[in-house]
A and B are shown apart, each in its own frame.
Chain A
Amino acid sequence: MDFLRPASWEEALAAKAEHPTAVPIAGGTDVMVEINFDHRRPEYLLDLNRIGDLDEWEVGERTVRLGASVPYTQIMENLRAELPGLALASHTVASPQIRNRGGVGGNLGTASPAGDAHPALLAAGCEVEVESLRGRRMIPIDDFYTGVKRNAMEPDELIRAVHLPKADGPQQFSKVGTRNAMVIAVCAFGIALHPGTRTVRTGIGSAAPTPVRARAAEEFLAAALEEGGFWESGQALPPSLAQQFAQLAAGACNPIDDVRGSAAYRRHAVGIMARRTLGWTWESYRGGAHGTKGGAQCA
């Protein structure tokens, strides 16, 4: 094993080009577990900790450019207004120690369906900025996940940042685990209301081979909101509407039975979370808070 320590982004790209099998390591919260448990012996480890740029974020007029290594703790503490869904998801990541090290780049690179950030990223809608010596490209999040622990990246590419639109409406995130903290998702659900475009986006974690959107549910809800004039009236949603949204969200799942939960439970739970998070976001929209309060531990 060789340990590559690029001092700059350019050096990192050069190293990755020279050694496409090199495994990038930033927070280490996935890679080191695999090394400690002898599940993986990469030829090269490519340390990204020295590249300060990756730990930074910029809040622009419409978007947030979030460095791949910005720790979840920083997202929770500093970007709750701009990225409420992702901030909520960040808060559910493992433990304070892990949140201090792990960032969105790791979730994306690993592309495990259980990664906590994915449902929030899908719901927000975002682009992943990847780069190699051959050039830079932006991958829409909808095209990013390609299979179980596979993504749309080429072997010589590294994730530099994620570009997320600033929330234009309420967002929520909910995750089921069988412990009240420090737990890998049995399944998870993210939702973002986008009043500007009168659309709704969702994300489902751990209930399909990849993180997925519940597109039928989104389309149903957007249409129902439009037809019922709910965006303008801000009226309470009829329970039947929320119920159908929940059923469609559950229907978007393609889960398996494993030690963390049964497929049937995952489908069921995604439906419940879809209904509840829709309720929370809609109440927030009606109350005019536009999702900036964050929800969890909301006072």
Chain B
Amino acid sequence: MRVTFTVNGRRQEADDVWEGESLLYVLRERMGLPGSKNACEQGECGSCTVRLDGVPVCSCLVAAGQVEGRDVVTVEGLADFARQRAERGGCAGGVCGTGLDEAKRWAAKPAAEEQAGGQSGGPGELSPIQQAFIDAGAVQCGFCTPGLLVAADELLERNDSPSDADIREALSGNLCRCTGYEKILDAVRLAAARGESRTAGQGA
């Protein structure tokens, strides 16, 4: 079957999709977006977490056909997603997916754009949560990282100063085998603190 939906603001189409394929498979194997990870394919590890119409879900448990016409944000689009949200001043009131009009205006950043942070190797600016994961040492093997980033970003969108218990609850669907989670907690705290100081700096 053919499946058409919006991914990271762009309309994408996949042909000859087998009906049993998951959204995860289509993203990874048909759309060249392997950032969402395939660690368990049973909804237990969260490494495939994406936003589906703004809602964090395990993409391994969404049938490809169910996504027809819908809006998906993956880790590859997280930085732009966060930037657009910041430009809109957050979106506490509603669904944070990319609207159709916005989607039409979406453009990828030039890959060669230099980064300020001294890290190299990636295109574009990172979202606050991505930068915090690097800075806090929350990335080891990195396989859980994409899913954790999508989940943590959504947490901070809802709750800009979460308690440790809030962070733990929000991330309880994301398994990490390397870090013992301590530095992941550090990263979310760091991103939250930076968000606060940024807001404070703006006098808001």
Contact = CB atoms under 8 A, between A and B. Distances in A.
A118 B119 CA distance: 51
A94 interface: yes
B115 interface: no
Nearest to A33: B42
Interface string A67-102: 000000000000000000000000000111110110
A95 B61 CA distance: 13
A100 B58 CA distance: 9
Given A96-B151, A182-B44, A3 B172 contact: no
Contacts of B62: 28, 32, 101
Nearest to A40: B20
Nearest to A179: B172
Interface residues of A, number: 28
Nearest to B68: A5
A244 interface: no
A3 B19 contact: yes
Contact of B58 (A1, A47, A49, A97): A97
Interface string A2-17: 1101000000000000
Interface in B1-42: 1, 18-20, 22, 41-42
A29 interface: yes
Contact of B172 (A1, A31, A45, A96): A96
A287 to B, nearest CB: 24
Interface string A32-47: 1101110001000101
A181 interface: yes
Contacts of B41: 33, 36-37
Contacts of A41: 20
A95 B47 CA distance: 12
Interface stretch (B49-57, B72-80, B89-97, B102-110): B49-57
B65 A100 contact: no
Given A2-B19, A95-B46, A32 B173 contact: no
B156 interface: no
Contact of B56 (A27, A33, A97): A97
A94 B19 CA distance: 26
A253 B98 CA distance: 50
A140 to B, nearest CB: 31
Given A37-B42, A94-B173, 8 more contacts: A1-B18, A27-B61, A28-B62, A28-B63, A32-B60, A32-B61, A32-B62, A101-B55
Interface of A: 1-3, 5, 25, 27-29, 31-33, 35-37, 41, 45, 47, 49, 94-98, 100-101, 180-182
23 contacts: A1-B18, A3-B19, A3-B63, A25-B63, A29-B43, A29-B58, A29-B61, A45-B19, A45-B63, A47-B66, A49-B66, A94-B44, A94-B173, A95-B43, A95-B46, A95-B172, A96-B56, A97-B49, A97-B57, A98-B58, A100-B56, A101-B57, A101-B61
